[in-house]
Homo-oligomer: A and B are copies of this chain.
Amino acid sequence: MNVGRLELEELYAEYVAALDKERFEDWTGFFTDDCLYRIVPRENADRGLPIAVMHCESKGYLLDRVLAIRKTAVYAPRYIRRMMSNVRVLGWKDDLLAVRARYAAFETLRDELTRVFSVGEHRDRIAVVDGRLRFREKLVVFDSELVPNSLIYPL
């Protein structure tokens, strides 16, 4: 199970491309069936507090979340552009590869200028399933005490 840095960078590039193009069903394909996906404010993550802004305990939960996004049309249309960089490989433990990568997400509402939406870090545990990299755990830690009221889409 030799996973190189380049392979990881490709993984993250594909990941953000799926999200930015709102291919949310494809996005769920980046996870294992028994995945854990959470978005947590940095202070909570640092203190070990359990409160999450988004919390999905399996791929089924992720699909439910996607369905909710698709069905709900009350949001003002917007583009989110995610950039990920500075991948760090922490090492293997129990067949899972621990990886860190940082992100910046930019939001553009119709007729408004682009602004910083959220920045932070992905803390991931990656499994190899049938030769492909899949997220078994993804903890998205964002640098804010504020819970953005527009955190509709995954990061």
Residues of A at the B interface (CB closer than 8 Å) are: 5-6, 9-10, 12-14, 16-17, 20, 42, 79, 81, 83-88, 100, 102, 104, 106, 108, 110-121, 143-146, 148
Residues in B with CB closer than 8 Å to A17 are: 86, 88, 100
Q: Which 10 residue pairs spanning A and B have beta carbons closest together?
A: A13-B86, A79-B143, A108-B143, A81-B119, A106-B119, A13-B88, A114-B116, A85-B85, A110-B145, A83-B85
The answer for the CA separation of A143 and B83 in the assembled complex, in Å, is 13
The answer for the CA separation of A112 and B6 in the assembled complex, in Å, is 36
23 contacts between A and B (CB under 8 A): A5-B6, A5-B9, A6-B6, A9-B87, A13-B87, A13-B88, A16-B86, A17-B86, A20-B121, A79-B143, A81-B119, A81-B143, A83-B83, A83-B85, A83-B102, A85-B85, A104-B104, A106-B119, A112-B146, A113-B148, A114-B117, A114-B119, A115-B116
The answer for the CA separation of A108 and B142 in the assembled complex, in Å, is 10
